[in-house]
Structure 1
Amino acid sequence: MMDSKWLWFMRMAAMSVLLLLEGCRWCTIDACVEHERVALLQLKPFFNHYNEFDSWDELKGSDCCKWKGIECNTTTGRLIGLSLDSMRSGYLDYWYLNASLFLPFKELKRLYLTGSGIAGCVENEGFEKLSSTFRNLQFLDLSQNHLNDSFILSLSQFSSLQYLNLAYNLLEGKWPHIQGLNNLKILKTLDLRWNQMERFQSFKDDDKKLELTHLEELNLEANLFNNSVFVTLDKLSNLKSLSIGFNQLNGLIDMKDLDAYLLVIYVDMAIKACGL
């Protein structure tokens, strides 16, 4: 009799443990990871130009998942989104970023640094140091900064990128780093508007063209491209949207140059602005 009661007790205990473990599958974590909270506080002085970080409390144990501009995984508490948009006087105060400060955020998927006044990175502390850590980074917005052509090389190993915004920077001339962009093999959206770019075909890269076969949306508005741009984009086999208004398109466009764009659903050439 005693053995049967003991057996019943053990079975009930085992069932309770199983129910507890099953319940934990649906648990959420309310607080962020401590070392990521500390890392965010180290970033604060570089971006807190307008005192935007009042919610970034230095009190130990403060939940950084509730801070402005922060998005966390509700299960693990790890940071997956960081938005520092326009928190520094970008057009008045250019500076060089130490990208290593982002290394603790190993699960980051989205990083927004719009209008941050970044002119580049500290020597040996550029974005290239993040590529082996940021294996899940999908969205990167560096628009409205002061970045030049060479900066693209530091992004060439971010193989998980699907969205890249480099609009309103200082990219110019005949693009010298085509291969750097071509390494972003699953990129779907590329925004390069309001720079001073002239062409994508680079003689420095053995006359390579842009070959992003997953690219669906390309914005080239307000650059210095002429009619020959269509030939240099003929490797973008999956392109669905092309915006190219406010460039230097003139006269008639040879329709043969558009043969590669049979999949393009939307082409915005801003005809009146181009003088066609």
Structure 2
Amino acid sequence: MDRSPSKFVLLLMAAAATWSFFLVADAGRLQPSCIGRERDVLLAFKQGINDTDGNLRSWQKERQDCCQWAGITCNNVTGHVIKLDLGGRYYLVGQISPSLLSLEHLEYLDLWGTRLCGPGGRVPEFLGSLNNLRHLDLSGMSFSGMVPPQL
């Protein structure tokens, strides 16, 4: 067997090229899907909504990866739901469910222009308990009463 350094280097380069091909090919499949309990939270949230225009038709239990649902963004490393953007979906009518409190990693909540509300048509107080929330847009919504001091 020939043990020349040049053949050894060529063998190493071929092995590295093969491994890099498989790593790049698999990169698209490495993204995590959503966390199961967070998918259940989103489905519970949807239960209180009448979606007359089909905006949330992708929100189905059969579609396991909620990161692929309309208006949902997940952290591409952990799979946690970090963004719920339903703004401008005027045909969403109903209650903003306190189930959202279970989305502990939620950073962005946009409900502008929807016809969602809390109990009694008010701004839900529990929104002030979303600890990681950095963006909240409730503009264009018709709430009654005062804005809770938690917000």
TM bin (shorter chain): 0.5 to 0.7
Paired amino acid for 1:38 = D
Tell me the TM-score normalised to structure 2 length: 0.67
In the alignment, which residue of structure 2 is the partner of 1:36? 38
Detail structure 1 runs of 4+ shifted over 3 Å in the superposition. none
Cα shift at 1:88: 4.0
Cα shift at 1:149: 4.8
Structure 1 segment 6-85 matched on structure 2, within 5 A = 29-45=31-47, 46=49, 48-59=51-62, 62-85=64-87
Q: Secondary structure at the match of 1:35?
A: helix
Instruction: Name structure 2 gaps, 5 residues minimum.
Output: 1-29
Higher helix share: 2
Q: Give per-residue Cα distances to partners, 1:174-198, cap 9 Å, x unaligned.
A: xxxxxxxxxxxxxxxxxxxxxxxxx
Contact 1:47 1:88 in 2 (8 A): no
Contact 2:110 2:137 in 1 (8 A): yes
Tell me the TM-score normalised to structure 1 length: 0.39
Cα shift at 1:40: 1.1
Q: Give per-residue Cα distances to partners, 1:16-70, cap 9 Å, x unaligned.
A: xxxxxxxxxxxx542100011111112224052211122223117x110011100
Residues 47/115 of structure 1: CA separation in 2 closer, same or farther (3 Å cut) = farther
Residues 130/148 of structure 1: CA separation in 2 closer, same or farther (3 Å cut) = closer
> Larger deviation: 102-111 or 45-54?
45-54
2:125 maps to 1:128: yes
Higher RCO (C-alpha 8 Å, min separation 6)? 2
Q: Secondary structure at the match of 1:131?
A: helix
Residues 99/58 of structure 1: CA separation in 2 closer, same or farther (3 Å cut) = closer
Paired amino acid for 1:137 = L
- RMSD between aligned residues: 2.8
Contact 1:73 1:80 in 2 (8 A): yes
Percent identity at matched positions?
30
Contact 1:80 1:109 in 2 (8 A): yes
Number of matched pairs: 122
Q: 2-side partners of 1:146 and 1:135: how far apart?
A: 25
Residues 41/80 of structure 1: CA separation in 2 closer, same or farther (3 Å cut) = same
Q: Which of the pair has more CA radius of gyration?
A: 1
2:98 maps to 1:100: yes
Contact 1:99 1:126 in 2 (8 A): no
Q: 2-side partners of 1:106 and 1:47: how far apart?
A: 25
Residues 126/146 of structure 1: CA separation in 2 closer, same or farther (3 Å cut) = closer
Cα shift at 1:99: 3.6
Q: 2-side partners of 1:143 and 1:68: how far apart?
A: 20
Paired amino acid for 2:76 = T
Instruction: Name structure 1 gaps, 5 residues minimum.
Output: 1-27, 159-276
Paired amino acid for 2:119 = V
